[in-house]
Structure 1
C-alpha cells in the first residue's frame, strides 16, 4: 500500500492532510497512519502519513504493531518509517503526536503548526466534546475535517484531557501494544464520516 500523505504540497482546499508523529515511526504513529487509511478508504480527500522524531529511514513496522493493526483491520504492507522533518510538519493541516513531547517536537520544527498540533488522544477527547450539530454530518470530508479542527481548537484549554499521551509499547508486552492500538482507534473514531467505522479494538 502506498503512503498517501505527501509533505510540502501546496495548500489545496479539496484536501486535508493529517501527520501522525511518534519516536521511531514503527509502532504508535505507524498504527495510527494505517488505521486512519483503513477508516478513510480509497480515494479519500483526507490524506494521512506519519513520521518519527528518531526514526531510521525505511525501518519496517514492529511485529507486534503489525499484529494489532491486522487485528483491527488495517494493512501494514509496504510500510517504511521516515524521519520527521519541518517540511512534513509544514505540509500538514493537522499534526497528531503520540505524546505531548512529540507534539512539541513537531512545533519546534515549524512553530506555526502550534495552532493545529495536538496529541492523538487529546484530539479525540476534544472532538468528542464538540456539541452535536456543530460539524456537518454529510458533505465533503475534507471540508468537514476543517470545521472539526476549528471546533476542537476552540475547546483547547476548556476541556480537561486526563490522559493526553499514549505510552510507548516498543519492547513491551502484547497487552501494551493492544492498549496503544485501542486508544488510537478510539481517538480516530472522531474523524468525519463517511469514512466507515474504525474497527473496534
Structure 2
C-alpha cells in the first residue's frame, strides 16, 4: 500500500482538508492510504468546523478524524510527505533528515502555469469561511499533480 501524509501546524485546518480532498479524488478501491499530522498539533482534536463544512460541500467528509502530532513512526510509514508551507517542510527535514527526500511542498504539485509553485498555503485558522474556501481551491489545484506522483510511487 502507498501512503501520503499531509503536514501543517495544528492538524485541524489545512492538512485535514487536503487529506479529505485527496481521499475523495482517489478511485474506489485505491491502494493509497492518506492521512495528516501537525508539527505542533494537540492530539485528539477534531477538524475545524470550517474545514468540515467545506469538505462536506465537496463530498469529502473525514470520518472520525482526530488531530495527531507528527513523529518518526508516522514518517516511517509514509511514502510521500506533502507540507502545506515551506516552514513545515523545513521542520520535517531538520527533525528527521532521513526522510528529507520524501518531503514536498503542496504547491509544487500545481501546474506551473498557475504561478503558485513554491508558494505557502496560508493558514486560515481563526479567519472567515472565504479564507478556508481559498485554501480548498489551492489544494484542489494540486490534486492532479499529487495523483500523478502517487502513481509513480
Q: TM-score, normalised by structure 2?
A: 0.87
Aligned residue among 43, 51, 62 for 1:57: 43
Aligned residue among 93, 96, 111 for 1:110: 96
Cα RMSD of the aligned pairs, angstroms, is: 2.0
CA 1:109–1:91 in structure 2 vs 1: closer, same or farther (change >3 Å)? Answer: farther
Aligned residue among 122, 125, 134 for 1:167: 122
Q: TM-score, normalised by structure 1?
A: 0.67
SS class of match (2:131):
helix
Runs of at least 5 residues in structure 1 that lack an aligned partner in the other structure = 1-14, 130-159, 196-201
| Count of matched residue positions in the alignment of Structure 1 and Structure 2 | 147
Q: Extract structure 1 runs of 4+ deviating beyond 3 A.
A: 160-163
SS class of match (2:45):
coil
CA distance in 2, matches of 1:36, 1:172: 23
CA contact (8 A) 1:37 1:48 kept: yes
CA shift digits 1:115-168 (9 cap, x unpaired): 12111112x13xx46xxxxxxxxxxxxxxxxxxxxxxxxxxxxxx855521000
| Larger gyration radius, structure 1 or structure 2 | 1
- The answer as to 2:64 corresponding to 1:78 is yes
